[in-house]
Amino acid sequence: MLSQLVASLTDSGRVGLMEKSNSRIGRSIKKRIAILVYEKCSFVDIGLLVETFNLANAAASAQYGETAHYSTSLLSSDGGRVQFSNSIEICTASIDGSSHSGYDALFIAGGEGASIAAKDRRTTDWLMRACRGARVVRAAGNGTLLLQNIDLPIVAETVVSMQTPGGQHTLAKDEALAVDRRAMSPFITALSIIKSDFGYDTAESIADRLMPFSGRWLRALMGDPPGSNAATKIKEASRWVEDHYDRPIAVSDMAKSVSMGERTFLRHFTTHTGMSPSAFLLLTRLNIACMLLLTNYLIYR
């Protein structure tokens, strides 16, 4: 995963430097994503964000033949190489050479360099202008320090109806999405944009690839998947098994988790997964055991 994130950041840096020329030749980019970084910002936050949009581009290419739905640019105050908190360096484009308008989403990195970056007047001036044109603005962690002295506007476009862990929607679908100063995960915001553009299943598959077994908390934040048919219930049951694999589980328990009769559940589970519930439970436990062994090996080798 580390090498994958490094590759994603490198590619995104190249995109940032070539952004102006690409727009002139009419590439089929539908949305422009800007990520503002600075010295000692979080590598994990930004790498995960870039890879999320890269996977969405791959999904768009596979499903619809689009060459690039999202153009992701890494920007910094002076441009050039910026060192992340883990000492990895990445090439960025300068804010001076990048228009402050035209971005659909603007993300601001979190990390220990935020307080220094917040004192850079040139950066905050650019950020103020960029926020007024962006439809979505999200800062990671203490990256919100860069937004404290900016008069943030209300933007005019809804991205997606999202839920809080308590189950309440932050906005109805017919309401405008306000710029939010809270330190909500940029990863969830990116998934919400992808959900709006390509549907719940695409956003969910990207989340599962980057964060296996994320279904339980992801659904609470992104809302329910469309429909409540058998396929959806079997997917919910699979997640329930992943959340409770460490205790004795019977088929009847799986069926009850989605309010289905046991015989009906057995029939649908085999149809939609190609295996019995017992086989799925065994496979889940084996996968998690392998993951734990690999993690311990990497930590203690």
* SS3 call for 63: helix
Dihedral Cα 196, 201, 204, 206, nearest 10 deg: -90
> Would you say residue 34 has pLDDT above 90?
yes
Percent of the chain with pLDDT over 70: 71
Say how many C-beta atoms besides its own lie within 10 A of residue 214's C-beta.
18
Percent of the chain with pLDDT over 90: 16
> Would you say residue 64 has pLDDT above 80?
no
Are 199 and 225 within 8 A, CB to CB? no
Is pTM beyond 0.75 here? no
CA atoms of 258 and 287, how far apart (whole Å):
23
> Would you say residue 54 has pLDDT above 90?
yes
> Would you say residue 248 has pLDDT above 50?
yes
Are 186 and 137 within 8 A, CB to CB? no
80-83 β-sheet, strand order: 80-83, 89-94, 70-76, 31-36, 105-108, 136-139
Spell out the domains of the chain, with CATH numbers in brackets.
2-222 (3.40.50.880), 230-300 (1.10.10.60)
Residue 146 vs residues 36, 100, 109, 110, 192: alpha-carbon distances, Å: 10, 16, 10, 10, 23
Are 272 and 231 within 8 A, CB to CB? yes
